Amino acid sequence: MIGRLLRPLRSGTARLAGNDPRIAAPATIEVSSPDFASGTMMPARYRGKDAVLPPLRWTDVPAGARQLALVVEDVDVPFATPLVHAIAYGLSPQKVAFEGGEIPKAGPRTPPDLPDAWLGRAMGMFPGYLAPTPIPGHGPHRYVYQIFALDTELARFASPPSKKALLAAMAGHVLARGAVVGIAEA
């Protein structure tokens, strides 16, 4: 019932990381998942509280890239801004994929480091991946998996950064970006 009442409220795409004017860049990176086409329903193993990060692939990273970053956001939450589901930064420009489940679930005991990247705060709280769990009855939610190619190497933050802190550090350094969208509904 609450979901149906909140159904008209959606954060929208205007405040999506990729639409921040400070990091404006052409959308020339091709991002995809081998398990769903962009704009379609994600398989059940990638939806719900026990879900894992879907496998992601990307191509066409510009030659001048020195680092990559991933930001995952739900643009259909009934909030003023999209809800951050994951941040990973410090990725090598030679990295071309995330395997399914590669980013651990967000929580107070999740380490802030991966073997090849650092994690930011999901939902502004803990490092890791927050699984897509839309409000029952709220309708379909779009989860936008965004890859950014940077012309610089960001320093590791002293603690897992928020989206706001990461975007401030990326400002003026994004060469290209790309995204794939997965849908989930409860």
Instruction: Give the model confidence (pLDDT) of 67-83 as tens digits.
Output: 999 999 999 999 999 99
Which of 8-12, 73-77, 109-113 is least confident? 8-12
Q: Are 186 and 58 in contact (CB under 8 A)?
A: no
**With pLDDT > 70 as the criterion, what percentage of the chain qualifies?**
98
Domains of the chain: 2-184 (3.90.280.10)
Q: Are 53 and 86 in contact (CB under 8 A)?
A: yes
Whether residue 7 has pLDDT greater than 80: no
pTM of the full structure: 0.96
Average pLDDT in the 54-68 region? 98
Whether residue 118 has pLDDT greater than 80: yes
**Between the CA of residue 24 and those of 78, 172, 176, what are the distances in Å?**
25, 8, 8
Sign for the CA dihedral angle at 172, 98, 141, 119 comes to negative
Q: How confident is the model at residue 5 (pLDDT cuts 50, 70, 90)?
A: confident
Residue 30's pLDDT is 98
**Between the CA of residue 69 and those of 103, 138, 141, 149, 167, what are the distances in Å?**
13, 30, 23, 7, 10
For 180, counting Cβ atoms within 10 Å of its Cβ (0-12 exposed, 13-18 middle, 19+ buried), the class is buried
Instruction: Give the model confidence (pLDDT) of 120-150 as tens digits.
Output: 999 989 999 999 999 999 999 999 999 999 9
Whether residue 51 has pLDDT greater than 90: yes
**Contacts for 125 with CB less than 8 Å, ≥ 6 apart:** 106
Q: What is the 3-state secondary structure (H, E, C) of 118-141?
A: EECEECCCEECECCCCCCCCCCCE
Instruction: Give the model confidence (pLDDT) of 168-178 as tens digits.
Output: 999 999 999 99
Q: How confident is the model at residue 9 (pLDDT cuts 50, 70, 90)?
A: confident
Q: How confident is the model at residue 113 (pLDDT cuts 50, 70, 90)?
A: very high
Average pLDDT in the 103-122 region? 96
Whether residue 22 has pLDDT greater than 80: yes
Helix (H) or strand (E) holding 87, with range, is strand 83-91
Rounded to the nearest integer, the mean pLDDT of the chain is 96
